[in-house]
Amino acid sequence: SVLSACKFLEDQGVKVTYLPVNDQGVVEAHTVRSFITEKTALVSIMWANNETGMIFPIKEIGEICKEKGVLFHTDGVQAVGKIPVDMQDVHVDFMSMSAHKFHGPKGIGALYIRDSQKLTPLLHGGEHMGGRRSGTLNVPYMVGMAKALELATENLQEKMASIAAKRDRLEDALLSGLTDVFTVGNRANRTPNTILISIRGVEGEGMLWDLNNALIGASTGSACASADLEANSVMLAIGADNELAHTGIRLSLSRFTTDAEIDYVIERFESAVKRLRAISSSYAIVQPTAGGEAGEHHPHH
């Protein structure tokens, strides 16, 4: 969604620079520093990637932006309610978040604005929200979002550990039970709920069909771009070949995911891969290798 906003700004004549990522799909702080110029007005970096779960160095980037006098926005949608987010500990001018990512109502979000920043409203009319956004406030959704965030962040470290343990068990089972599968991103720097897994020889759309029939929710990328059948841009950015970038499947857990559900997903995921590979005309010519985590077994190797 941020990329779409950037493309809109480009159409209005604004110069937008897209920063490269490292082999884990993360924009590093020194990269941000090297691209800032005297004309830079705003830096926008996600706190955690929506497909890989990789966490970005927001604190370091914020310090660089503060030093350079550049406004800093972070897309916190995949971070808030999942990992510790302390706005007193980072220099962020704006942060966007969405309630449905932490079990709140769908259709409401929030924008954190550092006190000193003024915004020109996009919607005009009344003086709602301090003149920032006109329109009658949706109080029930606002209360629902606040309560959901309160519940999500209670005992957050314990919730994170429980979710990560289930995520790791699922990931380990798929990597050990199948050949030519790869996960993207180092677990130590990932949100605890996310897996992006690629299966050589199996188109992502075919996997989604099988998983959907098994009542397993998965995606081939961001929901913001789920109508596209193009190769996964995140995987291409970290060096995956075009074929492998078409096979990426994202699985997300929550604090409500059970061990029985993990067992079920392992069984149905493996059977779907084996079924689709058996009817694939391309997989027979691929030399099977052991599955692994990207960085140990790089996706395009």
Query: How far apart are alpha carbons 74 and 89 in whole angstroms?
Result: 14
Query: Which pair of tokens denotes residue 184?
Result: 């993207």
- 3-state DSSP call for residue 200? coil
Integer Cα distance of 178 and 277 in angstroms: 11
Question: Is the Cβ–Cβ distance between 78 and 48 less than 8 Å?
Answer: yes
Pairwise CA distance, residues 230 & 253, whole Å: 25
Please answer whether residues 86 and 67 qualify as being in contact, where contact means their C-beta atoms are separated by less than 8 angstroms.
no
Question: In Å, what is the CA distance from 298 to each residue of 40, 269, 301?
Answer: 34, 22, 6
**What's the CA gap between 52 and 194, in Å, rounded?**
6
Does the annotation count 224 as an active-site position?
yes
CB atoms within 10 A of CB 132: 15
> From the candidates 5, 224, 229, 290, which is the catalytic residue?
224
Which residues are marked as active site? 224
